[in-house]
Chain A
Amino acid sequence: MTEQPVDILLVEDNPSDVELTVHALRRERLANRIEVVRDGEEALDYLFCRGAYAERAPKDPPRLVLLDLKLPKVDGLEVLRSIKSDQRTQAVPVVVLTSSREETDMVESYHLAANAYIQKPVDFDQFRETIKQVGLFWLVVNASPPPAAFQRGPARGAS
């Protein structure tokens, strides 16, 4: 694995969606450092430097996680819960990117402190536009959390 810090962690099981998403990001030159994982377990392994990612430097979290909800093994909401309940990862912006517009999914995602919830449009133009906006906002407009944000949980004792 590359030792270079990653900008976007794309958690997506559908290869077409991976391809279309990466295509859209690349078009906007936002996909320089993009890591794709294909299920929830892999995502957690990556984020917490376990399993195949045991060698990864843990102090370099991705600047953005694009998270599908319907994932094999560990589902998206579970991944979200793990990210947001661990002080090493809770500052990472997580954007839920899913086909679903079910209210329960939205409510549950926001309860688990998702930073945004976006339904993937079927129309490719809209899809491309959405991905572009997300990438631009979180990687260009938004100031990513500084390293200190990952060392000390807000008002939370170190575990």
Chain B
Amino acid sequence: MLACAAGLFSAGTGALVLVGWFLNIQPLKNLLPGLATMKANTAVSFVLAGVSLWLLAPEEAASSREVWRCRGARGTAVFVVSLGLLTLGEYLAGWELGIDQLLFEDPGTTAYPGRMAPATALSLTLVGLALFNLDAPGDSRLSPLLALSATLIGMLAILGYGFGVSSLYSRWAYSSMALHTAVAVTVLAAGVVFARPGRWPASTLVSDSAGGIMARRLLPAVVVLPVLLGWLRLGGERLGFYDLPFGLALMVASSIVLLTILVWWNAAGLERADRARMENYAMFSSLFRSAPEAIVAVNRVGRIVLVNEQATRLFGYEVEELTGQQVELLIPDRVRAQHIAHRATYASDPRMRPMGSGLELIGRRKDGSEFAVEVSLSPVRSANDFLVMSLVRDVTERTRAEEAIRRLNEELEQRVLDRTARLAAANKELEAFTYSVAHDLRAPLRQIEGFSRLLGDEAGVDLLDSARHHLTRIREGTRLMSQLIEDLLKLSRVGRQELHLQVTNLNTLVEEVVEQIRDDIGERAVEWRIQPLPFAECDPGLLREVFVNLISNAAKFTRPRDRALIEVGTAADGSGIFVRDNGVGFNMKYSDKLFGIFQRLHRLEDFEGTGVGLATVQRIVHRHGGRVWAEAELNKGATFYFTLGTLEQSEPAEPAGQGGGS
């Protein structure tokens, strides 16, 4: 920005002066009558140098992205240097090259009309060289040094004008530097210095450091103050206010006072800044020291720069033992090479890597023991280095816990597998058992039944009545036994077979069952009350078995009633289905035995049965995730309730047919 403005200023000044020469406007050439003129060649040089600086001003010009900029700037710089050197050659070697009045004839009275002053030629040469070398490889101080020399020459000339000391701007009596030349050279050279603010010496001036602050405060004062004081002193002397020694003393005294004030003011400001900085530093270093995590800061080449207390405690070293060491000291030998490679990769692309982003490593303590660590990395850039802050967390406990969980899981899984295998074996055994029951228990029954029957047939009329009665009892026994086997197998099948769930209309199911039972009981007065029932997700085959058992029980235990009442419905609170009868009921005292296998609450002579039916009901209901219970009163009736875990709370089906059976 500064350089760009300086370049435009220089080029503009040069152009205005050229206009002055072209149109012969005297004030443009020398500003004030009697002063030296800026020569045409000088003006051309300013235009070219200004353009060169303007081209170079954007920092990116340093990169080869815009080659034309670089080439143009360097070309014009070379031209400026050549012009300056040729003019100097004219002065020193006495050449007569005819370049002085090439553009315009100089009507001036100097010894060499149209020729720029030697000081101008020298300063322009220096500026040209500075421009040419602005981004040159090698010592980056060359360009600013050249430019500063040119500034010095320009400033001396300005001072000469200011103090009326002509020798400062006209080194040789016959040729002197014009005032605007002096100003333009100073500005141009300063522009070159600030063209690269990131480099010496401009960097110091623009930095945020204490040095930068101080330089920015003192430099203008240091430049302006002596000039101002000297000018006042000189003016006073010339006007005869005081003589030379007094003037000198006055200047020294005022210099001391002003500079002291300046230094004090500056020192106070710096102190404030410094104190804030120290507080910051103290805070941050205490943060660093007392951070709950171990922190190790490592520089670009892997040396430990900073460690905090947690880190020393974690690794068992003293701070002094770690600082300056390679960070690989904290890593087991076998992964060292790998870590160095990782570090190189990271340095080429430093990114924040938060904790838990999968960076799990092994740390090594001073005593050689190893432990699992989790590391997070964050790059910290400084002016000329970059540090990697590593937060190191001991995850031994966590790893151990994870390991324990994993092991427990494995054990659990194994145990589940074992159990499943054992269960499968038990199931298989059970299956073999039922199979065997189905086959082998029936064969002897058939034998008893068959042969007792044959005996009865063949003995015929010869048999006594009592013998015939005995044969009948034998056959009853076999029939009961056969029924028991049948029921037991059914119960076992209910437990083993897979559930085939489907949404089922319970009314349809109940109707079918009632139809079948009606046929079985024959000529009896039974009033059937079947309420609307919900749809349920269930195994229809198994649920049918439930209704068969409950409803046939109801039919069986209402046998002594003149008018039996059997009711099927939904419980008032909608929680389940019930089957109710007005039969003989039972004493609630025995209700806990009701669903046990082979449990019967009535004598066989009164009510036949094997004691397996309700056990089967219970097993089916349980398999559906439901529950079954009963309420009864002796000689009044019984109600059996059941729920299904899968029961859907859906609209009840159409009311089913009701009516008394006969």
Q: Is the CB of B446 within 8 A of A17?
A: yes
* A115 lies within 8 A of chain B by Cβ: no
Which residues on A sit within 8 Å (CB–CB) of B493?
A: 103
Contact of B450 among A70, A99, A100, A124 (CB under 8 A): A124
With A and B bound together, what is the CA distance between A124 and B478 in angstroms?
11
* B440 lies within 8 A of chain A by Cβ: yes
* B447 lies within 8 A of chain A by Cβ: yes
Q: Is the CB of A124 within 8 A of B439?
A: no
With A and B bound together, what is the CA distance between A127 and B449 in angstroms?
10
Q: Is the CB of A124 within 8 A of B438?
A: no
Contact of A16 among B438, B439, B447, B479 (CB under 8 A): B447
- Contacting A at CB under 8 A, from B434-467, are 434-435, 438-440, 442-447, 449-451, 453-454
- Contacting B at CB under 8 A, from A1-37, are 14, 16-17, 20, 23
The A interface is mostly helix, strand or loop, or mixed, namely: loop
* B101 lies within 8 A of chain A by Cβ: no
Q: Is the CB of A100 within 8 A of B479?
A: no
Q: Is the CB of B479 within 8 A of A123?
A: yes
Q: Is the CB of A101 within 8 A of B438?
A: yes
- Contacting B at CB under 8 A, from A72-122, are 98-103, 120-122
Determine how close the nearest CB of chain B comes to the CB of A19; give it in whole angstroms: 8
Q: Is the CB of B439 within 8 A of A98?
A: yes
Determine how close the nearest CB of chain A comes to the CB of B31; give it in whole angstroms: 121
* B166 lies within 8 A of chain A by Cβ: no
Which residues on B sit within 8 Å (CB–CB) of A69?
A: 439
B180-220 interface bits toward A, Cβ cutoff 8 Å, 1 = contact, 0 = none: 00000000000000000000000000000000000000000
Which residue on chain B has the smallest CB distance to residue A70? B439
Which residues on A sit within 8 Å (CB–CB) of B531?
A: none
The B interface is mostly helix, strand or loop, or mixed, namely: helix
With A and B bound together, what is the CA distance between A122 and B444 in angstroms?
9
Q: Is the CB of B450 within 8 A of A14?
A: no
Which residue on chain B has the smallest CB distance to residue A120? B446
Contact of A122 among B435, B449, B489 (CB under 8 A): B449
* B482 lies within 8 A of chain A by Cβ: yes
Q: Is the CB of B439 within 8 A of A100?
A: yes
A122-B454 in contact given A100-B435, A102-B435 (Cβ < 8 Å): no
Which residues on A sit within 8 Å (CB–CB) of B497?
A: 103
Q: Is the CB of A100 within 8 A of B453?
A: no
Q: Is the CB of B445 within 8 A of A100?
A: no
Which residue on chain A has the smallest CB distance to residue B435? A102
Which residue on chain B has the smallest CB distance to residue A119? B442
Contact of B446 among A20, A23, A70, A102 (CB under 8 A): A20
- Count, chain B residues at interface, CB 8 A: 22
Determine how close the nearest CB of chain B comes to the CB of A28; give it in whole angstroms: 15
Q: Is the CB of B435 within 8 A of A16?
A: no
With A and B bound together, what is the CA distance between A123 and B438 in angstroms?
15
Which residues on A sit within 8 Å (CB–CB) of B478?
A: 122
A124-B453 in contact given A99-B443, A102-B438 (Cβ < 8 Å): yes
With A and B bound together, what is the CA distance between A23 and B450 in angstroms?
10
Determine how close the nearest CB of chain A comes to the CB of B376; give it in whole angstroms: 62
With A and B bound together, what is the CA distance between A14 and B446 in angstroms?
11
- Contacting B at CB under 8 A, from A107-152, are 120-125, 127
Which residues on B sit within 8 Å (CB–CB) of A98?
A: 439
Q: Is the CB of B479 within 8 A of A122?
A: yes
Which residues on A sit within 8 Å (CB–CB) of B444?
A: 16
A124-B449 in contact given A16-B443, A17-B443, A23-B454 (Cβ < 8 Å): yes
Which residues on A sit within 8 Å (CB–CB) of B489?
A: 101-102
Q: Is the CB of A99 within 8 A of B438?
A: yes
Which residues on A sit within 8 Å (CB–CB) of B447?
A: 14, 16-17, 20
A16-B450 in contact given A122-B478, A122-B479, A122-B482 (Cβ < 8 Å): yes
With A and B bound together, what is the CA distance between A58 and B438 in angstroms?
36
Q: Is the CB of B438 within 8 A of A14?
A: no
With A and B bound together, what is the CA distance between A125 and B449 in angstroms?
9
With A and B bound together, what is the CA distance between A127 and B440 in angstroms?
17
Which residues on A sit within 8 Å (CB–CB) of B454?
A: 23, 124
In this complex, the member of B435, B443, B454 whose beta carbon has the largest number of chain A beta carbons within 10 angstroms is B443
Which residue on chain A has the smallest CB distance to residue B478? A122
Which residue on chain A has the smallest CB distance to residue B434? A102
In this complex, the member of A17, A100, A103 whose beta carbon has the largest number of chain B beta carbons within 10 angstroms is A100
Q: Is the CB of A127 within 8 A of B446?
A: yes
Q: Is the CB of A99 within 8 A of B439?
A: yes
Which residues on A sit within 8 Å (CB–CB) of B451?
A: 16, 20
- Contacting A at CB under 8 A, from B509-527, are none
Q: Is the CB of A100 within 8 A of B443?
A: no
Q: Is the CB of A70 within 8 A of B440?
A: yes
Which residue on chain B has the smallest CB distance to residue A125? B453
Q: Is the CB of B450 within 8 A of A20?
A: yes
Q: Is the CB of A100 within 8 A of B449?
A: no
Contact of A120 among B434, B440, B442, B453 (CB under 8 A): B442
With A and B bound together, what is the CA distance between A103 and B446 in angstroms?
21
Determine how close the nearest CB of chain A comes to the CB of B439; give it in whole angstroms: 5
Which residue on chain B has the smallest CB distance to residue A21? B450
Q: Is the CB of B438 within 8 A of A127?
A: no
Which residue on chain B has the smallest CB distance to residue A24? B450
B467-480 interface bits toward A, Cβ cutoff 8 Å, 1 = contact, 0 = none: 00000000000110
Which residue on chain A has the smallest CB distance to residue B443? A14
Determine how close the nearest CB of chain B comes to the CB of A77; give it in whole angstroms: 12
With A and B bound together, what is the CA distance between A102 and B493 in angstroms?
9
Determine how close the nearest CB of chain B comes to the CB of A51; give it in whole angstroms: 26
With A and B bound together, what is the CA distance between A121 and B446 in angstroms?
8
Determine how close the nearest CB of chain B comes to the CB of A99; give it in whole angstroms: 4
Determine how close the nearest CB of chain A comes to the CB of B492; give it in whole angstroms: 10
Q: Is the CB of A99 within 8 A of B442?
A: yes
Q: Is the CB of B438 within 8 A of A122?
A: no
Which residue on chain A has the smallest CB distance to residue B454? A23
Determine how close the nearest CB of chain B comes to the CB of A85; give it in whole angstroms: 24
Contact of B449 among A23, A103, A123 (CB under 8 A): A123
With A and B bound together, what is the CA distance between A20 and B440 in angstroms?
16
With A and B bound together, what is the CA distance between A122 and B476 in angstroms?
12
Determine how close the nearest CB of chain B comes to the CB of A79; give it in whole angstroms: 16
Which residue on chain B has the smallest CB distance to residue A16? B447
With A and B bound together, what is the CA distance between A77 and B128 in angstroms?
112
With A and B bound together, what is the CA distance between A72 and B404 in angstroms?
53
A51-82 interface bits toward B, Cβ cutoff 8 Å, 1 = contact, 0 = none: 00000000000000000011000000000000
Known contacts A14-B443, A16-B447, A124-B450; 5 additional CB pairs below 8 A are: A121-B446, A122-B449, A123-B449, A124-B446, A125-B453
A-B contacts, 22 of them at CB < 8 A, read A16-B446, A17-B446, A17-B447, A20-B446, A23-B450, A69-B439, A70-B440, A98-B439, A99-B440, A99-B442, A100-B438, A101-B438, A102-B435, A103-B497, A122-B446, A122-B449, A122-B482, A123-B449, A123-B479, A124-B446, A124-B450, A125-B453
> Hey, which bits of chain A sit against chain B, CB under 8 A?
14, 16-17, 20, 23, 69-70, 98-103, 120-125, 127
Which 3 A-B residue pairings sit nearest by Cβ, starting from the closest? A16-B447, A124-B453, A99-B442
